[in-house]
Each structure stands twice: as C-alpha cells, then as structure tokens.
Structure 1
Amino acid sequence: MKLKPGIISLVALSTIIFAGCGGSSGDKKTEEYSSKGEELFKNNSCVSCHGKDLEGASGPSLKKVGSKLSQSEIEKIINEGKGSMPSKVLEGKDAKEVAKWLSEQK
C-alpha cells in the first residue's frame, strides 16, 4: 500500500508537533518544600547519610530528632559534627535553617 505525499507530510508534521508536548525534554520536576531548611537538607549532602525522608542510611534516622534534641543542640551538631558526621556540612544561616526544620520533626 502506497501513501499519498500529502498524508506522509501530515503524519510527519503531527509527529513533530506532538513530540514537543509534555515530554521530558526540558521539563524539570520541581519539588515543593515546607521550608528553606527542608530544601537545604534535601539539596545538600545531608540526604546521602540521613535519607531523603529522614529514614537514615549510613547516618541515623532523623524522623523524630526534634523530640530528642533542641534546635540549638541540632545546630551544634551541624556545626561541630558528631561521630562520623563531619563539622560544618552547612554553615551560618543555612545551618540555622536546617536545625530549625529538623527540630520540628517530632
């Protein structure tokens, strides 16, 4: 069966048009964060040890860290390190933001 040239052009054109719609090319999945602290945590090396959902991995779970440690205690650990966690993974305002967010995890 042989297609007419006009039909082939229409098929090619619709393929080009629909290929650009809703595909993954250029579309970036944007994650929403409850706070700046959560965003910093999830976009830094914290996730590699403590897990994206705070479930823990090579580092301890932080799911309920706020019921065990205060914001200032958490910030001290971020600044000084603890165990195999290095010091100053985050500094200044970033450390404060993450400590605040983690202290709310109860």
Structure 2
Amino acid sequence: MKKSLLGILLTSSLVFAGCSNASDEASDANNPQDAAESAAGTEIDPEKIVNQKCSSCHGGDLSGGMGPALSKIGSELSKDEILAVIQNGPGAMPENIIEGEEADAVAEWLAEKK
C-alpha cells in the first residue's frame, strides 16, 4: 500500500514539474536576447512555444507521452476548442500554461495539425 501511494505521489510530482513554465522564465532571465525580443513584440513562434511548454508532456514530435498525442489534434478539435483546453487544463495539465496571444497562436497552429 505504501509503495503504491509513493508511486502515485512521485508520478504526480513529475507531471507537474515537467509541465511547468518555470524553465521558460529561467531561460528568459539567462538569455537577455530572448527577453528583449519578447519585450519588443516580435512575431510569436507557436512551434517554439510548444517545444518549450508542451513537449515534455506531449512529446517533442507531438506523438504523446504523459499527455495525449497532438500531431493530428486539428482533425479532432477546432482552434477554439484547443484554446479552451489550453485555458482550462483538463486532467493533470495546468490551467493557462500558455496565455494571451501566445495561447491563441498555439491554438491556431495546432488546429492546422490534421
């Protein structure tokens, strides 16, 4: 019983640690050019955002992992439905892992995956 509880707790902590955006914030702090580009309002690169914030759970090629595959998500969900998933974070996925214009750009990019 104790071993199974420990396994559940460990798995849960890995899910939350892998899906956090803390590493992205740290990379901006360590790379002034990235921070300056973000502040300057440069064009949003949804693929880069997905690689930074989603690939740890959904796989680098979006084929799935701890989270479901997203490689053909556009054939299942519309842009608005994908945006709702990003905002509401179903299951173990954190809410608003991506926000604002970035979330909109990622939802549009993923909706094209068919």
Length-normalised TM-score, structure 2? 0.60
- Give the counterpart letter for 1:76 in structure 2: A
- Give the counterpart letter for 1:52 in structure 2: G
Which portions of structure 1, spanning 4 or more consecutive aligned residues, are displaced by more than 3 angstroms?
none
Give, in angstroms, the shift of residue 88 of structure 1.
Answer: 0.6
Gaps of 5+ in 2: 1-43
Query: Which of 46, 61, 65 is the aligned partner of 1:57?
Result: 65
| RMSD between superposed Cα atoms in Å | 1.1
CA distance in 2 between counterparts of 1:76 and 1:92 reads 12
CA distance in 2 between counterparts of 1:92 and 1:73 reads 15
Which residue in 2 is equivalent to 1:30?
none
- Give the counterpart letter for 1:62 in structure 2: L
Are residue 42 (structure 1) and residue 38 (structure 2) matched?
no
Percent same amino acid at aligned positions?
46
- Give the counterpart letter for 1:79 in structure 2: Q
Residue correspondence of structure 1 range 81-100 to structure 2 within 5 A: 81-100=89-108
Give, in angstroms, the shift of residue 68 of structure 1.
Answer: 0.3
Partner of 2:98: helix, strand, or coil?
Answer: coil
Structure number with larger C-alpha Rg: 1
CA distance in 2 between counterparts of 1:84 and 1:43 reads 18
CA distance in 2 between counterparts of 1:41 and 1:89 reads 10
Gaps of 5+ in 1: 1-34
Give, in angstroms, the shift of residue 56 of structure 1.
Answer: 0.5
